[in-house]
Structure 1
C-alpha cells in the first residue's frame, strides 16, 4: 500500500479503555477502490480498530483521514462509511427489499427509481426475486447477502466489514468470500475487512496486514 494519496489513512491511531491499550499506534494507507484485510486472533484489537475508523470509538491519539481530511470532528453518520457485521443486523420487521432500500430511502429515492436500484442490488448479490421475502426465513448465507446489498445501497465511500462470514460453516464461508470479492471489485468499493480466517483474507482483499496485541505485525522478510 502506498503511503499517501486518496483513500483511507490512519496515522498513529491509538484506542484505550482505561489502562488497557486496545489499539496501539496503528498507521496505514488504503487507496480508493482497494480492499484491505486486517487479520488476527480474537482480542487482538482488529474490531476495535474498525470501530475507531467508523467513529464509534474515540481515539486516545492519532488521526483517521479520508482523502487527506481529518475526521476527528466528523460524526459517524456523516463519514459516508457503512458497516456490515457478523450477524447482519437486518430489520426483522421489514421485507428483504425494504431492508436493502433502507439507505436508498434516506437518500431520497422513491417509486420506480428505488425499485430499480433495489432490484439491481439483489441481482448483484445473487438474490433476484427475493425482495418480498421475510429476511428471518432466509439462510444465514442469504441474510449476509441481504446485509451486503443493504450496505452497498448506502453508496458508501468505505465499507467496513466486521467478521461478516465467521458465523457460517466452512463451505459456505469459502463460497461467499469469493462472491464478496467479486461484488467489491464490480462496484469499485473501498473496503476494510477484519477476520481471523487467513484464507478468507487472501480471497477477499488486495492487501493483508496482521495484528497482534493491538499492534500491526511487520511483514515477514
Structure 2
C-alpha cells in the first residue's frame, strides 16, 4: 500500500487506491514530486471515490495475510487541497463498511463499520506525513516503525476502535534519486483518545472458532 493511502488505515482502510500507480505493491510513500499528480486538488469540493479506489488490498498481519474489501455500504467521498506551503491535505468522509478476511484460515469479519472522518497531510518537501482519524475505524501498520509506535502507545498490532481520535506522524527520508521511494525513518502516535479498542487478530480468532 502506498503511503498516500495511509489515511484509509486510520478510518476507512480501502480509500485512495486511485492514488497508487497501477500494480504498485510498495508500502512506502510516493515521492513528493509525484504527490500532486497522484492526488490532484479537488479545489475544495468533495468528490466520490472512483471504482479503482474500491479494489480489495492485502497486507501482512495476524501471522498471515489479511485482505480488506469494501462491504455493502459505500458512500465515501474525499477532497484534496493544497495549502499555502504546498502541503497536500486529503480529507475523507462517508458511511462505509469493510469485509476483513485472514488468508490462513478464511476467518472473516463481515460488514465492519468504518464511518470515521480522516485527514492526511503530506509535507511538500516529502519529509513527513501526518494521519488523523476518528472512530469507528480500522488501523493496520504499514512499516515496522509504525508497528513499534502502536506498541509503545499500548495499541494492538491491528485494531478496530469505535470512538475517539488517533493521530500519528511519520518521518521520512526523501529519495536520493528520481523514481526511488522515501524511507520511513520513524513514527510517533501524537494523539490517542481512542475508546472501545478491539484487537483485530483476536476478533478474527473468534470468527474462526465460530466457522
Q: TM-score range by the shorter chain?
A: under 0.3
Structure of larger gyration radius: 1
Instruction: Indicate the structure with greater strand content.
Output: 2
Tell me the TM-score normalized by structure 1: 0.24
Q: Which structure's relative contact order is higher, taking Cα pairs within 8 Å and 6+ residues apart? A: 1
